[in-house]
Amino acid sequence: MSDLEALRNQAQQDIRELRQQINHLDQPAIDLILQRARSHYAWQDRPVSEDQIKRLYEITKMGATSMNSCPARFVFVTSPEGKDRLAKALKPANVAKLMGAPLTVIVAYDPEFWRELPKLFPHEDRRGHFSDKPAFAEETAFRNSTLQGGYLMIAARAMGLDVGAMSGFSNAAVDEEFFADSTLKSNFLCNIGYADESALFQRLPRFEFDEACSFA
């Protein structure tokens, strides 16, 4: 048996064993990560530790991306100095949300993610799909970093943290402040911590199945 075959067999056995251990989440777990979860705007004065942040990334990084491209890059803003730098890019209504949160994540992406594909997708060299197609590389990076940002939010909730994503800011200003000497670009921001529920209002409506879904 080749090394590749052995690795494939091990991967298949791992997922079979996982399915034997657990094949679905119970309703309380689904409630925690999505169905009854809420976006938050105010925060308790409780820190998110470096160990929690590292654990959060370890969970997030395992989410699927196209060709395992992993284009997202995360800046974990925790210091007062970092918050002040980031605040300059926000719309006024979002500054208090940023300043009150113990952790704000800049979810960014690298349009030149494809340079790392030999490490991340070693089966064959796929760099040629992107190296001379910057628009396609940008589209792929943005789409998959958005996925990874979603994984980050669900992972945080699964860890017992609360989240509040934000898009009311200037991407250009964030990029100039944090990524001027790199190829990275900002996607969206996400506050993470322990929520102050007193700032919540009623849940807003959602579309019913027949309004948003169809069969083909």
Per residue in 116-146, pLDDT tens? Answer: 999 999 989 999 999 999 999 999 999 999 9
Residue 205 counted as domain residue: no
Q: Residue 197's pLDDT is what?
A: 95
Residue 210 has φ and ψ, to the nearest 5°, of -70, -15
Model confidence at 179: pLDDT above 80: yes
Q: What is the mean pLDDT of the segment spanning 189-193?
A: 98
Q: What is the CATH number of the domain that holds 82?
A: 3.40.109.10
Confidence band, pLDDT 50/70/90 cuts, at residue 2: confident
Q: How many CA atoms lie within 13 A of 22 on its CB side?
A: 4
Confidence band, pLDDT 50/70/90 cuts, at residue 3: confident
The per-residue b/e assignment along 37-66, b for 16 or more CB within 10 angstroms, e otherwise, is: eebbbbbeeeebeeebbeebeeebeebebe
Residue 27 counted as domain residue: no
Per the structure, how many domains does the chain have? 1
Residue 149 counted as domain residue: yes
User: Would you state the structure tokens that stand for residue 136, as one six-digit string?
Assistant: 């396609």
Residue 134 counted as domain residue: yes
Model confidence at 157: pLDDT above 80: yes
Residue 130 counted as domain residue: yes
User: Would you state the structure tokens that stand for residue 198, as one six-digit string?
Assistant: 């007193």
Q: Which of 79, 96, 95 is nearest to 87 (CA)?
A: 95
| Mean pLDDT taken over the chain | 96
Distance CA 134, CA 130 (A): 7
Q: Residue 4's pLDDT is what?
A: 80
Residue-wise pLDDT for 35-82, tens only, equals 999 999 999 999 999 999 999 999 999 999 999 999 999 999 999 999
Confidence band, pLDDT 50/70/90 cuts, at residue 14: very high
Domain range enclosing 123: 38-197
Q: Where is pLDDT greater, at 7 or 53? A: 53
Residue 81 counted as domain residue: yes
Confidence band, pLDDT 50/70/90 cuts, at residue 1: confident
Confidence band, pLDDT 50/70/90 cuts, at residue 16: very high
Q: Residue 5's pLDDT is what?
A: 87
